[in-house]
Structure 1
Amino acid sequence: MGQRMVVVGADATGLAAASQARRLRGADELEIVVFDKGNFASYSACGIPYWVAGDVTDAEDLIARSPAEHRARGIDLRLRTEVTELDPAGRRVRSHVLDTGDREWLSYDHLVLATGATPIRPPLPGIDAEGVYGVQTLDDGQALIDALESATGKRAVVVGAGYIGVEMAEALVRRGFDVTMVTRAAEPMATLDPDMGALVRKAMVGMGIQLVCDAEVTGMRTEDGRVRAVTTAENEYPADVVVLGIGVRPATDLARDAGLPLGESGGLLTDLAQRVRGHDDIWAGGDCVEVFDLVSDTLRYIPLGTHANKHGQVIGSGVGGGYATFPGVVGTAMSKVCELEVARTGLSEKAAHRAGLQFHSVTIESTGRAGYFPGAQPMTVKMLAERRTGRLLGVQIVGREGSAKRIDVAAVALTTRMTVEQMTALDLGYAPPFSPVWDPVLVAARAAAKAVRQG
Structure 2
Amino acid sequence: MASKGRERLVVIGGDAAGMAAASQARRLKGPDELEITAFERGHFTSYSACGIPYWVGGEVDGPDALIARTAEQHRERGIDLRLRTEVTELDVDGCRVRTRQVDTGEEAWTGYDKLVVATGARPVRPPLPGIDAPGVHGVQTLDDGQALLDGLERLEGDHGRRAVVVGAGYIGVEMAEAMLRRGYRVTVLNRGEQPMSTLDPDMGGLVRRAMDGMGIETVAGADVTRILTGEDGGVRAVATDDAEYPADVVVLGMGVAPETALARDAGLPLGGYGGLLTDLSMRVRGQENVWAGGDCVEVLDLVSGRERHLPLGTHANKHGQIIGANVGGGYAVFPGAVGTAVSKVCDLEIARTGLRERDARAVGLQYVTATVESTSRAGYYPGAAPMTVKMLAERRTGRLLGCQIVGREGAAKRVDIAAVALTAGMSVEQVTTLDLGYAPPFSPVWDPVQVAARKAVTKVRDAG
Which category of TM-score, normalised to the shorter sequence, fits these structures?
Answer: over 0.9
Query: What is aligned with 1:93?
Result: 97
Cα deviation code 1:168-187 (max 9, x no counterpart): 00000000111100001110
Contiguous gaps of at least 5 residues in structure 2: none
Q: Is the 2:14–2:45 contact (alpha carbons within 8 Å) kept by the matching residues of 1?
A: yes
Query: What is aligned with 2:254?
Result: 246
- Separation in 1 of the partners of 2:252 and 2:364? 33
- Separation in 1 of the partners of 2:310 and 2:21? 20
Is 2:294 aligned against 1:290? no
> What TM-score do the two structures reach when normalised by structure 2?
0.97
Residue of 266, 276, 282 corresponding to 1:268: 276
Residue of 8, 21, 24 corresponding to 2:28: 24
Residue of 141, 164, 167 corresponding to 1:160: 167
Which segment drifts farther, 94-103 or 408-417?
94-103
Q: How does 1:183-198 map to 2 (within 5 A)?
A: 183-198=190-205
- Separation in 2 of the partners of 1:362 and 1:227? 45
Percent identity over paired residues: 70
Is 2:113 aligned against 1:109? yes
Q: CA deviation at 1:228?
A: 1.1
Query: What is aligned with 1:321?
Result: 329
Q: How does 1:418-429 map to 2 (within 5 A)?
A: 418-429=426-437
1:438 aligned partner, one-letter code: W
Query: What is aligned with 1:75?
Result: 79
Residue of 417, 428, 448 corresponding to 1:409: 417
- Separation in 2 of the partners of 1:67 and 1:101? 21
Residue of 200, 206, 214 corresponding to 2:213: 206
Q: Is the 2:225–2:239 contact (alpha carbons within 8 Å) kept by the matching residues of 1?
A: yes
- Separation in 2 of the partners of 1:162 and 1:379? 20
Query: What is aligned with 1:446?
Result: 454
- Separation in 2 of the partners of 1:150 and 1:402? 38
Q: CA deviation at 1:225?
A: 2.5
- Separation in 2 of the partners of 1:182 and 1:300? 26
Q: Is the 2:48–2:68 contact (alpha carbons within 8 Å) kept by the matching residues of 1?
A: yes
Cα deviation code 1:51-102 (max 9, x no counterpart): 0000112210000011111000000000000011000000000111122222
1:178 aligned partner, one-letter code: R
| Secondary structure class of the residue paired with 1:10 | coil
State the aligned residue count.
Answer: 455
> What TM-score do the two structures reach when normalised by structure 1?
0.99
- Separation in 2 of the partners of 1:331 and 1:58? 28
Query: What is aligned with 2:369?
Result: 361
- Separation in 2 of the partners of 1:58 and 1:315? 29
Tell me how large the CA RMSD over aligned residues is. Answer: 0.7
Contiguous gaps of at least 5 residues in structure 1: none
Is 2:399 aligned against 1:395? no
Q: Is the 2:135–2:151 contact (alpha carbons within 8 Å) kept by the matching residues of 1?
A: yes
Please list every run of at least 4 consecutive aligned residues from structure 1 whose deviation after the TM superposition is greater than 6 angstroms.
none
Is 2:142 aligned against 1:135? no
Cα deviation code 1:223-271 (max 9, x no counterpart): 2422111000110001111000000010001111111111111100111
Residue of 83, 88, 102 corresponding to 1:84: 88
Query: What is aligned with 2:315?
Result: 307
| Secondary structure class of the residue paired with 1:287 | coil
| Secondary structure class of the residue paired with 1:313 | helix
